[in-house]
Amino acid sequence: MTLFITHPDADLHETPPGHPEQVARLPAIRAALDDMDLRREEAPDGTDAQILRCHPQAYLDAITAASPTEGWAQLDADTYMSPGSLHAARLAVGAACRAVDAVLDEEAGNAFVAMRPPGHHAETAKPMGFCLFGTVAIAAKHTLEVHGLSRVAVVDFDVHHGNGTQDLLWEEARALFVTSHQSPLWPGTGERSERGAHDNVINVPLPPGSDGRTFRAKIAPALERLDAFAPELVLVSAGFDAHRADPLAQLEWVEEDFAWITERLCDLADAHAGGRLVSCLEGGYDLEALAASAAAHVDVLRRRENGG
């Protein structure tokens, strides 16, 4: 059955009052998935070796040194660490790598990782956008270096451009990175002209107000490229802030749109990767919309794993 990985210590990553990346996000998701038939595991600690596949030692040392013993350490305009943040971020890395191990070792057909802080904005040596470590990029490198795969797809449908994942995989010819996102919007990157060192990055910018119908039309060429790439594993940065209720952006998706893209990615995994897919939570800041969208996403994974 679908593997669901989370950990209560993710809730130890606390942000200041009013911050959108709040502790309540994961309890909302856990409650929405509570009645689903899922295999459940707690996240293991991420290792230095895993983190160092994407980030230099000096960066890991700097993040470790920045961890406060009380209150908050502010790393940039909107990225904070509390005393539990470093542990939570390492657990997020461990969870993503454990999900890859489980899927590639045939313990589960697919997996969903619900951890925080998110990861897709963390660049090689720069925390930003609520993110400390590039979790999904680290999982991609783990796939390639530990399991010896030759081709991994990374698909990001968060409403904000996955600039960190793009930076971390820019030189990685064995990874094809596809990201859809609202544009213009923070962080201001993600133009179609940004293609990666090996033509391995596909940016799909969406104008404000785009609904699911617009998204389906604009993502179609990227899905064709993914099909031609024939990935041996599909990794997903699952951000649910493209929902029309989300306070941080202006796309008009609904739950059915997240289910649709999940179905298409499962089709891709079925065609080329034996169904092997690992999804990791990124954004989503309206709690009700986040819970409903995550449930729609995981329900597709669960049904596809069960042959539905």
Q: How confident is the model over 83-92, as pLDDT tens digits?
A: 999 999 999 9
Do the Cβ atoms of 164 and 119 come closer than 8 Å?
A: yes
Set 121, 243, 272, 297: catalytic member: 121
CATH of the domain at 66: 3.40.800.20
Instruction: Say whether pTM exceeds 0.95.
Output: yes
- Between strands 80-81 and 73-74, the pairing is antiparallel
pLDDT value for 35: 96
Which residues constitute the domain of residue 293?
Answer: 3-305
The torsion angle over the Cα atoms of residues 26, 184, 251 and 118, rounded to 10 degrees, is: -10
| Distance in angstroms (rounded) separating the CA atoms of residues 57 and 224 | 38
Per-residue pLDDT of the chain (308 residues; tens, 9 = 90+): 999 999 999 999 999 999 999 999 999 999 999 999 999 999 999 999 999 999 999 999 999 999 999 999 999 999 999 999 999 999 999 999 999 999 999 999 999 999 999 999 999 999 999 999 999 999 999 999 999 999 999 999 999 999 999 999 999 999 999 999 999 999 999 999 999 999 999 999 999 999 999 999 999 999 999 999 999 999 999 999 999 999 999 999 999 999 999 999 999 999 999 999 999 999 999 999 999 999 999 999 999 998 86
In the chain, the number of structural domains is 1
| Distance in angstroms (rounded) separating the CA atoms of residues 305 and 308 | 7
| Distance in angstroms (rounded) separating the CA atoms of residues 277 and 269 | 6
Residue type, 44: P
Provide the strand spans (E) within 148-276.
152-156, 175-182, 201-206, 233-238
Q: Which residue matches tokens 């289910």?
A: 259
Residue 50: CA atoms inside 13 Å, Cβ hemisphere, count?
27
User: Residue 42: enclosing H or E segment and its boundaries?
Assistant: strand 39-42
| Distance in angstroms (rounded) separating the CA atoms of residues 294 and 297 | 5
Verify whether residue 121 is a known catalytic residue: yes
